[in-house]
Structure 1
């Protein structure tokens, strides 16, 4: 299979070179935009609030849903924080082997008429990866260019005050992430060979009382997640990574200028090697890459912050005083939540439903345990990493109004320049980090799209390899093509995932509360 994959990728290379010379990619992009523009316009329809402020309607379900879950689960995003860390540390691993849990599940599932019978054989099974590996696999899809480019755009539009709203969004998103990832584990399927299939497709189908509604919502979600995986989770990633590599090696004078297909081919081969191995292989890669790249980025941010320690107080003052100014609110709501979420939903993804696919593969018998682990994601991604980026930009003075019209590629260069002002050689390190961010995001999103694909077309090996080969071909295309309309459409697909998912989260919230009570009672029993 690997030989077939390689031959297909090599076949795609000269075709793409020809396309670039003839401008075919631009023509295709324009035609694609004309055909799909109505869908993009609908998903990103802006509701005007003032003469200068308009907010995309898709943000309201995300924000209102996250706020509702925060109150419904009694501020689980704050009260459960240290418990979540202890779960990742393995403090409560002993609960997984307790026989009383197995007996309790068997009784409750057979007497609960609301549960789908398929769930009975799933509960009590072990999964494929550890809590830490599931966390890093999901984080690898969220920690990325949104933390670098999205934040730069946010503070450019809204000033330093945008950072405050970014932090608020991160804390609220922790509750949504808890709900969807708990459901992902509760309603997952586990095959005889131990392969796990999970995510919104399964908890919408199995969990909702109205089975017709559940199936319709699940099909729509599966379609949207496949589209999102090819576009925002694939082509956008490799395209932006190539832009930065080309820039750091000389721009138009670079040896790789105009050879995006070659960069894409190399990335596609590396991605293909990993994703053919499934979630276990993906998890083994991400649990090494994610801590490494986050550590590099955080260390560099801390260096800049401490090197300008005298300016930190003023930076926080700007954040808090600017948070409630019109400019700050515009930057927070539009700059962070729109640019952060829309740019392939890199910053946070809470409420979108994608992370529950990765978390569903965890080895656990308590669904709520993984929900607790998942709530750490928005904290790490948004509250920690994005805030550090914002502080670097504020301290180095890169929040000027003339930067407000930046696109993502320019915003990455702005962030790179901010670091360069304190660490002259850091743009080279940042380039490596961005490539790793892109690579890890692609392999995780390939898993998300694959789960949607097999939900629609079946779990045969033929269907599995068909999806993975197509995904790798799109890596090459993404690096070589102009992606304006394609990315607009794929971003819309990612946001569209939120609609069926949020409906399911609201309706299934009582089931999540029951799972949380069961798990917290088990933890309390160990302390008795």
Structure 2
């Protein structure tokens, strides 16, 4: 482990030493330049475009993403549509009894033998504690038997909000602006399609996250692609390689897209709303970073329980504010909604023109949707693995709601606001994420003059919640590589907080490219693994649906 830490520290040396350099460039430009020099090759590889014609080039990483999501949609018989109602019931706690105790123990022969009162299922607590051998495990591998108890740290709702806090955020605000500016209104259509297909991918990876999780000695849950790739694949060498590759990129993603990008966008909008170059924060962005680092540090020290307690309050509040403002704009401009949808449909299938025509528009939609909802990336399974349940598929069903909320609802509303207010400039490839946040703010401000100030508060909260969730993702990957000691835990969390300050201070063009590349890079080993493990997920889904049927039958009788 010491050698691994030394290797990582040697990788970090250039970033630390450049702070001492003096020269004509500012510190933010130095950071951006050095960062770009170190990571440019990786970004170029991940976003290599396969040329299909003179005007059409497609990122190779989109193929496993789209093909995988399409495969899961068909393989699980359109679970992204048929499973929504069941998912809502799970979140509302309708099946909490069977998830805590097991359907057989409650409603099968074992429950009847124990004299279980269906109206007082909590009476089973002592019975199960005294008769642990009665809990039947249906032929699962020994390595994961202990993980299929009701052990866990958070509820379904808390796991959902913790994962949503990492996805519903600046990707919905800045990312959508980039998509419609480069690809036009039609990119919105493909974002919606990507969101619907992504629901199936989220279901698969989050089911696996719970099935193959590890439970630490103190009850702390460790889960995610690192574990289901390593433990689930029959070819152990392949599993270790895929798990290791994912963990490395997950750490990079937590520092980049999950941290520096978030705080940079927040401080940029805050600076703009408080006077731009006349703002009291102008030239002192690092102070904003220090404040954010302290607040993030306070929350993440407590682990997933502390994170979930914050996110289950912040996320619903943020979504309500943002969606409410979007609805206000849409109602104020209701006569243009039909026209906007017409622009979306026509633009989605434009034969020529905008960035290579329909294919180019589709690429922008899928790329930004993937960055926003992270379906297929595997990151959300880390948060969902900490849920309290006996049935992994129950959490997979809860997770499929994420892309719907994140992309189909929130991203679509952002796109409609941008289109209706005229803040779309098809083919504007010069717009980047760093400027996009101001474009979205201006779109809302053209209808609600005071809302940019509210949006600034919302963006800061979005950034904060995304940071604390991604710190958990990154730490889980860090612990997988370097061990689960307190020393390694605090080492990661201190480095993460330092990157908050760097993100607030730095110029972000290179960091944004790196962040995008890391997140898409995580998707490749994850997608390979979950396609192979799909039959395991189907077995878990059957087990859970049978448990629900057993309960319904027992109650009806």
Question: TM-score normalised to the size of structure 2?
Answer: 0.87
Q: How does 1:486-505 map to 2 (within 5 A)?
A: 486-505=511-530
2:174–2:440 CA contact under 8 A, matched in 1: yes
Q: Which residue of 2 aligns with 1:336?
A: 365
Q: 1:305 to 1:24 in 2, by over 3 A?
A: closer
In 1: Cα distance, 2:22 partner to 2:498 partner: 15
Q: Which residue of 1 aligns with 2:381?
A: 356
Q: Which residue of 2 aligns with 1:85?
A: 88
Q: Are residue 268 (structure 1) and residue 293 (structure 2) matched?
A: yes
**Greater CA radius of gyration, 1 or 2?**
2
In 2: Cα distance, 1:410 partner to 1:455 partner: 36
Q: 1:218 to 1:391 in 2, by over 3 A?
A: same
1:55–1:333 CA contact under 8 A, matched in 2: no
Q: Which residue of 1 aligns with 2:464?
A: 439
Q: 1:510 to 1:463 in 2, by over 3 A?
A: same
Q: Which residue of 1 aligns with 2:183?
A: 158
In 1: Cα distance, 2:359 partner to 2:414 partner: 19
Q: Which residue of 2 aligns with 1:94?
A: 97
2:329–2:447 CA contact under 8 A, matched in 1: yes
Q: Which moved further from structure 2: 273-282 or 45-54? A: 45-54
In 2: Cα distance, 1:124 partner to 1:101 partner: 13
In 2: Cα distance, 1:504 partner to 1:401 partner: 37
Q: Which moved further from structure 2: 393-402 or 85-94? A: 393-402
1:204–1:218 CA contact under 8 A, matched in 2: yes
In 2: Cα distance, 1:280 partner to 1:155 partner: 37
SS in structure 2 opposite 1:321?
helix
Q: Which moved further from structure 2: 284-293 or 118-127? A: 118-127
How far off its partner does 1:402 sit? 6.9
Q: Which residue of 2 aligns with 1:386?
A: 411
How far off its partner does 1:65 sit? 0.2
Q: 1:403 to 1:100 in 2, by over 3 A?
A: closer
SS in structure 2 opposite 1:237?
helix
Question: TM-score normalised to the size of structure 1?
Answer: 0.92
How far off its partner does 1:206 sit? 0.9
Q: How does 1:215-226 map to 2 (within 5 A)?
A: 215-226=240-251
SS in structure 1 opposite 2:373?
coil
Structure 1: where are the runs of 5+ without partners? Answer: 1-11
Q: CA RMSD for the aligned pairs?
A: 2.1
In 1: Cα distance, 2:191 partner to 2:263 partner: 26
In 2: Cα distance, 1:18 partner to 1:454 partner: 33
How far off its partner does 1:320 sit? 1.7
Q: Which residue of 2 aligns with 1:8?
A: none
How far off its partner does 1:400 sit? 2.7
Q: Which moved further from structure 2: 147-156 or 424-433? A: 147-156
Task: Name which of 534, 537, 546 aligns with 1:509.
Answer: 534
Q: Which residue of 2 aligns with 1:369?
A: 394
In 1: Cα distance, 2:23 partner to 2:157 partner: 42
1:394-425 C-alpha deviation (Å, 9 max, x unpaired): 11122233744211132211111111111110
Q: Which moved further from structure 2: 138-147 or 93-102? A: 93-102
SS in structure 1 opposite 2:533?
helix
1:141-183 C-alpha deviation (Å, 9 max, x unpaired): 1011111111112122222222111110000000000000000
Q: How does 1:207-218 map to 2 (within 5 A)?
A: 207-218=232-243
Q: 1:424 to 1:397 in 2, by over 3 A?
A: same
1:279-326 C-alpha deviation (Å, 9 max, x unpaired): 000000000110000100000000011111111111112222222114
Q: How does 1:47-196 map to 2 (within 5 A)?
A: 47-98=50-101, 101=104, 107-109=136-138, 111-112=139-140, 115=141, 117-196=142-221
2:31–2:507 CA contact under 8 A, matched in 1: no
Q: Which residue of 2 aligns with 1:257?
A: 282
How far off its partner does 1:526 sit? 1.8
1:228–1:493 CA contact under 8 A, matched in 2: yes
SS in structure 1 opposite 2:389?
coil
In 1: Cα distance, 2:467 partner to 2:165 partner: 9
Q: Which moved further from structure 2: 394-403 or 266-275? A: 394-403
Q: 1:21 to 1:240 in 2, by over 3 A?
A: farther
